[in-house]
Amino acid sequence: MAEQSDIFCNEGIIGSSTITTVGTMRIVLAKDGVTSTHFMVIPMEHRDHIDEFTGQETADFNEALSLIRHVAERRGIASYRLISMVGAESGSTIAHYHMHVIGVTSADRNDEKFGILMANPGARPIHYSIEELPKRARELRAEFDAAKGRTSH
């Protein structure tokens, strides 16, 4: 694993769009969203690939996915897509492992553009400005905290 410097390694950039953290993982609001329920799970330490995760990171990653699922369910969304692009040929533009979690309703799925939105951030219907992104992430923190309360063991 090479030393990397990318926006997901830069606390000054990624910190402002972080909704909450789960141990070694952060849950981040997507700046350009496919749907209104579009988050990313990103390890705090730089990882190129998911198979570089430590045991703790794998456990935290699973817990973060579970938390997002509960947030989606509270919104009445039972379906979602997990999308992770690794390597430039895949269309990935950031070489820091990240998993997109996108809640999908039948209305989203029936949108004729839905299938092509992942590969083209400019075409996605949700856009947060640099000013809006941290504000929205802070607002979402309460929703995640409520879901955490419900899922705690």
Q: Does 36 bind Zn ion (CB under 5 A)?
A: no
CB of 48 to Zn ion, least distance (A): 8
Beta pairing class for 25-29 and 32-33: unpaired
Of 26, 31, 38, 46, the one binding Zn ion (CB under 5 A) is 46
Are 14 and 42 in contact by the 8 Å Cβ rule? The answer is: yes
Site string for Zn ion, 84-103 (x = CB under 5 A): ------------x-------
* Total residue length of the chain: 153
Q: Does 6 bind Zn ion (CB under 5 A)?
A: yes
- CB of 45 or CB of 73, closer to Zn ion: 45
Distances (CA, A) of 2 to 51, 96, 116: 15, 11, 32
Q: Does 11 bind Zn ion (CB under 5 A)?
A: no
Q: Does 9 bind Zn ion (CB under 5 A)?
A: yes
Beta pairing class for 38-43 and 99-103: antiparallel
Return the residue nearest Zn ion (CB atom): 96
CB of 18 to Zn ion, least distance (A): 14
- Mark the segment that binds Zn ion (CB under 5 A) among 28-36, 43-51, 70-78, 141-149: 43-51
